[in-house]
Each structure stands twice: as structure tokens, then as C-alpha cells.
Amino acid sequence: MTPVDHFDVVVVGLGAMGSAAAYESARRGRRVLGIEQFTPAHELGSSHGQTRIVRKAYFEKPDYVPLLQRAYELWDDLSARYGQQLFTRCGSLMIGAADSPVVTGTLESARRWSLPHDVLDARQLRARFPQFAMPADQLAVFEADAGFALAEPSVLANLELAMAENAELWFDTAVEAVELGPSGVHITAGGTELTADKVVIASGAWASRLANLEQFPLNVQRQTMHWYEPASGSSGLTDFDPARFPVYVWDWPVPVGQPPAELYGFPHQPGDTAVKIGLYHDGYDVDADDLDRTVGPPDAARLTDLLPQTLPGLAGPWQSGTACMYTGLPGDDFMLGMHPGGSGRVVLALGFSGHGFKFMPVVGEIVADLVIDGYTRHDIEFLSPARFARHA
């Protein structure tokens, strides 16, 4: 077949990162096509589930903090452009033993980048946030400037703003092939052949089948998120209102030989009758096309056991749950940059490992930098795909 159209940029996958890349590239005047195999802001990948934590004092690695500082500016800009508050600052608590990675990493980032924070012992935490039953041998780091982003509305914001900037978006369309050619990148999607100057691969758990990505150690895990009713019933929901209850990550100690228990959760959301909570990396490896999407109380068994010890006011009945996927890499750092075998034409935005959503707007900016200018002012060397390439 003869290619029917040519674009400056084609973005494969329109979840959090792909939608942001499409919007930012179109906003800079490029002719953009975004292709998504499912419907807009769908619930079949990794960009759904109502809310995502946003924080600056990043325990994972201090290198991320400058990206987060820019992401904060862009979250506020995106909310203003879209006309809806997408990022709510309700504060965050990072909780654990004094030598736990969550506490030590948070303090390292906060101190290195002079981020405002408070260190709370059990008595101080109880006075400010009595919902948390923190043992006396643990600490909490409170960051007032943290909070949560709305997941699906943020993706929709990017998509709608991208279309307002004349981006063309195709949904319910599978990408069969991405290949380099003399006239740029050749893409087959939904039986149609296209060409582009640059292509962005942001297809998450489905990425390995495109653009010669078998050389990169992407791993897909099934994860579940859950909603619990307060122990006191609906009258207890006010205890978990954003004005009174922050987002949190809690590194709960477990006996040697047991899997880690990194508890995370959010304030109550308007219209809900339950409160969202989950365990980070508490899943198993899956194929993206064979994900078991049925979620029930057995998936939440560890949470049900932990809640009376950690958040007793939330230890009511399990109400519901949903499944998603984490696409990760060794070390849990992202893969963001030029494909080392892509002749400068293929940008990879992959492997966000369950902690990447908060970076969505700055990833969109970085990807647009790379496809338009070939470089970015942001320091992303530690995220370079070349670190995994066999022949980098």
C-alpha cells in the first residue's frame, strides 16, 4: 500500500504520557497524530483509577525533584487551560521506620533541594492526623505542598486541548508496525499506512511488540486498587476529607521473608461512599492482553489485615476494587529519551512503574522537546533508554 498521509509527529498510545506528548507537540504548531487502541481515558491500562499522588520530596531518587518542580508549574497551567482543578494540594505523609527507604529517601530529597517539610513523631502525628495509628518507633515526614491529581480527567484534558490545537486523534485503532524508512518512520495502524518525521512510543504495557523493544527489560505486573468504607459507616467519611486527611505512603514493617507492604492512599472523593487505598507492587507478572480484571475481597486480603493496625477508622467493609498494570524496569526508573536504534526519529516514554503519573505534564514537555528540537533542557540522562540497549 502507498502511505496516505504524513505527519510531523505520531504518538502511539494516548494514556497519561502519550496524551501529554500529543498536546504539547500540537501546541507548538506541529502536525500531530495520536493513535490509541482503546477509547479515550479508558480503564484498560495504567492511567485510570480516579486519583494519583503528586509530591516533590521524592524518596525514590533526588534526581527526580527538578522534574517535579517543573511538573508542579505545568499541573497548574494545565488546570487553568482546561478550566478544571486537576491537582489538589492536601499534603502528604511519608511514614515508616527511621531507617526505612520511604523516610530516609524523602528526607534526602527534601534536604538536598531545600523543600519545606516537617518530621513528626507518633505523638505529633496523632495530634495533627489522628486517623493514623503510627507506632512509637516510626516517623512521618509531612509535605504540605503535595496532594493528588485526578487521573481520567487529566488524560481527557490533554486530549481535548490537543484537539483544540488541531491534533488528529484516532481511537479504537491498533498499531501493527513501526519501521524506519528513507522517508522517515513508517507506521501501519488499523490497516492504514502512514509516515512521520518522528514517532513517540508511549503505549505502556503493550510497548514491547513495537519499535524493536525486545532488547529492553520491560516487565508488566497486575496491580489492584481498593475502596473501603469507614469503620463507622458513611458518617466517618468526613474524617477522610481532603481538608483533614493527606495522601500517604506507609512503609509498614513485615517479618523477614514476607513481601514488602508499602501502603498508599488518598482522601475521600466527592460522591464516593468509600476511600481509596492500595499496596504498591503487590501483584504478579502478566501479559497485557491476558489481564484478569475481576477484583474481589481476596485481592485485598493483605490490606484488610493491615487496616486495623494502621488506619483503624478505615477498617470497614471492602466495597470495590479495580485492576491496572505497572510497566516497570529494573530499579523502577523510567525510560525516557531517544531510542538508541531509532536514528533520532523514535522517542520512548515507557516504564513508569506505577509512580510516573505525577510527571505527566513535564514528560509531555520533554517528549515535545525531543521530537521538535532533538534535545531537552531537562536532565534526563539517568532515564536514558541507552542504559539498557545491548549496543548503545
Convert the pLDDT of each residue in 83-103 to its tens digit.
999 999 999 999 999 999 999
What percent of the chain has pLDDT above 90?
90
Determine contact, residues 133/312, Cβ cutoff 8 Å: yes
Question: What's the Cα-to-Cα distance from 71 to each of 60, 170, 360, rounded to whole Å?
Answer: 16, 27, 7
Whole-number pLDDT of residue 210:
84
Helix (H, G, I), strand (E, B) or coil at 326: strand
pTM over 0.85: yes
Query: Of 39-53, 180-194, 219-233, which gets the smallest average pLDDT?
Result: 180-194
Reported CATH class of domain 90-146+219-327: alpha beta
Q: Report, as an integer, the average pLDDT of 277-287.
A: 93
> Does pLDDT of 282 surpass 50?
yes
On the question of pLDDT at 392 being above 60, the answer is: no
Q: Which of the four pLDDT bands, split at 50, 70 and 90, describes residue 250?
A: very high
CATH number of 5-48+152-217+331-387: 3.50.50.60
Q: Is the pLDDT of residue 232 over 70?
A: yes
Cα-to-chain-centroid distance, residue 174:
23
Flag whether pLDDT at 2 surpasses 70: no
Distance, CA of 164 to CA of 53 (rounded, Å):
28
Question: What pLDDT score was predicted for residue 215?
Answer: 82
Average per-residue pLDDT in the chain?
95
Q: What was the pLDDT predicted at 4?
A: 65
pLDDT at 183 over 80: no
> Which pLDDT score, from 0 to 100, does residue 34 have?
98
Where does the pLDDT of residue 391 fall: very low under 50, low under 70, confident under 90, or very high at 90 and above? Answer: very low
Percent of the chain with pLDDT over 70: 98
Q: What is the pLDDT of residues 30-59, one digit of tens each?
A: 999 999 999 999 999 999 999 999 999 999
Confidence bin at 353 (pLDDT 50/70/90): confident
Structural domain spans, the chain: 5-48+152-217+331-387, 90-146+219-327
Q: Which of 30-39, 196-205, 380-389 has the lowest mean pLDDT?
A: 380-389
